[in-house]
A and B are shown apart, each in its own frame.
Chain A
Amino acid sequence: MIQAFANPARFLSFSAWAWPFAGVAALILFAIGAPWALVFSPGDYQQGESVRIMYVHVPAAWWALGIYAFMGGASFVSLIWRHALADVAARAAAPIGAFYAGLCLVTGSLWGAPTWGTWWVWDARLTSMLILFLTYLGYLALHAAIDDEERAGRLAAVLCLAGLINLPIVHYSVEWWSTLHQGASLLRDGGAAIHPSMLGPLLTMAGAYAAAFAALLLANMRADVFRRRVEAARLRRARAS
């Protein structure tokens, strides 16, 4: 499986139909999930209509974490097997993950204002999401700062794996810290205690985010493969002339 996709030509022929497929799936899921979540699902008995921010916010949080885990896996494969496309995949996933993390922070802040009465609290989850966002920015900045692409990819992979170890430590330390200082948290651990009428649109939106990630990832990777080919062709022509 891993070796099968190491061939860029095979990847291009697979992704040629896979990325529009994922894109259409994302559009269909958004077309179902967005009206269901934002119009037809019930409001919350306490929060009223503002609970609808959850359907934008929670999937963004899930996939911001999920994409970083994906990048960690791709970085691992890239470092161990020197897999060319794993590098491309990790780099292509990073801006999408950074966007989801930023979206999660912004919508969380907008949600916090009516429900908690404040735009921001230094709660454990908010703090670790902010650090995840910074980790994404650091990954992108390191990749951009190094000219040699192969070296940039592999150094960024080392950084990505170091961040993969750091993030759980950060998560548990801020959890310990915020429980130490704040007592009962404003956030409730109510993941399983959600009503089915809200779970349906939430999972649909999570599926839409996942499909959007897959489509954008494959499109980004294709663009990167094509860009490398164009550069290689330019070099060949420059040498020939």
Chain B
Amino acid sequence: MSAILALFRRDLALAWSAGSGAAAPVGFFLGAAMLLPLSVGAERTLLGAIGAPILWIAAALASLMVLERLFQADLEEGGLDQMLLSPAPLEALAAAKAAALWVGVGLPIAAAAAPAAIALQAPPAAAGAIALGLAIGEAAFLFAGLVGAAAAASVKRAGVLIALLVLPFFAPPILFGAAAAAAAAEGAPFGPAFLLLCGTTLFALALGPIAAAAALRLQAT
């Protein structure tokens, strides 16, 4: 247990340390969201209809950015060998890394989504529900993304490869998440789309660490 907590705290500290700080993905998220009104025009009804779904795409792309170095750094520095030698199960350690990423990067993105949603003409009353849905969806992105990050850990410059591997896994959460955001904008935030989003997140939480650990064991041998 202490190994899992220690890894969680180490990765959280790394996520907030200078250089690889969480500010970069959040900035990317806001920048990508800003491009939307520049590309489709500032008409309020149009932005209100597509703003929240675009935030989901921006969040998915921002979470891709942090996946590349997630296991690569551990593999290069020998941290992965320590994880394999540790008595704690590798699945739990992989989950701890993803959880640290979720707290360090996923939650700030979700928090930034509330003002961004208002700026993109979503009703201000719905901003909280949109941010909550995105916080849950970020967990699905990061835990499903573990699989791609672990499988491509030994590949140099794996960013594009990880994106290709992981994007099919992003389809269900983005689908239900955007539907939940649209429902929130219409004033019915916690309907079936939100519950299905929670369901896909639970799927990713349960299966992502197992598949990632299977891939990590192969990386070390």
Contact = CB atoms under 8 A, between A and B. Distances in A.
Nearest to B221: A151
A7 interface: no
17 contacts: A131-B171, A134-B164, A135-B168, A141-B161, A146-B155, A151-B218, A151-B219, A158-B151, A158-B211, A158-B214, A159-B147, A162-B169, A162-B211, A166-B168, A170-B168, A173-B176, A177-B175
Given A131-B171, A169-B172, A173-B200, A162 B207 contact: yes
A1 interface: no
Of the candidates A127, A134, A162, the one having the most CB atoms from chain B within 10 angstroms of its own CB is: A162
A177 B179 CA distance: 8
Contacts of B167: 134
- Of the four ranges (under 10, 10 to 19, 20 to 34, 35 or more), the interface on chain A belongs to 20 to 34
A72 interface: no
Given A145-B161, A158-B151, A169 B203 contact: yes
B165 A159 contact: yes
B165 A138 contact: yes
Contacts of B172: 166, 169-170, 173
Contact of B171 (A79, A138, A146, A173): A173
Contact of A158 (B154, B158, B171, B218): B218
The majority secondary structure among interface residues of chain B is helix
A68 to B, nearest CB: 12
Nearest to A144: B161
Nearest to A128: B171
Given A142-B151, A146-B154, A162-B207, A155 B171 contact: no
Contact of A145 (B158, B214, B221): B158
A155 B215 contact: yes
A155 B200 CA distance: 24
A154 interface: yes
B200 A145 contact: no
A163 interface: yes
A237 B172 CA distance: 52
Interface of B: 147-148, 151-152, 154-155, 158, 161, 164-165, 167-169, 171-172, 175-176, 179, 196, 200, 203, 207, 211, 214-215, 218-219, 221
Contacts of A145: 152, 155, 158, 161
Q: Which 9 A-B pairs have the closest CB atoms?
A: A173-B172, A138-B165, A145-B155, A162-B211, A138-B164, A158-B215, A155-B151, A131-B168, A170-B171
A138 B166 CA distance: 8
A173 B179 CA distance: 11
A169 B200 contact: yes
Nearest to B158: A145
Contacts of A169: 172, 200, 203
Interface in A121-174: 127, 131, 134-135, 137-138, 141-142, 145-146, 151, 154-156, 158-159, 161-163, 165-166, 169-170, 173-174
Given A134-B167, A158-B147, A173-B172, 19 more contacts: A79-B214, A131-B171, A134-B164, A138-B164, A142-B155, A145-B161, A146-B155, A151-B154, A151-B218, A155-B219, A156-B151, A159-B148, A165-B207, A166-B169, A170-B168, A170-B172, A173-B196, A174-B171, A176-B196
Nearest to A177: B175
A180 interface: yes
A179 to B, nearest CB: 12
Contacts of A174: 171, 175
Of the candidates B171, B176, B200, the one having the most CB atoms from chain A within 10 angstroms of its own CB is: B171
A162 B147 contact: yes
Contacts of A162: 147, 169, 207, 211
Contacts of A138: 164-165, 168
A44 to B, nearest CB: 33
A175 B218 CA distance: 35
Contact of B164 (A137, A146, A155, A156): A137
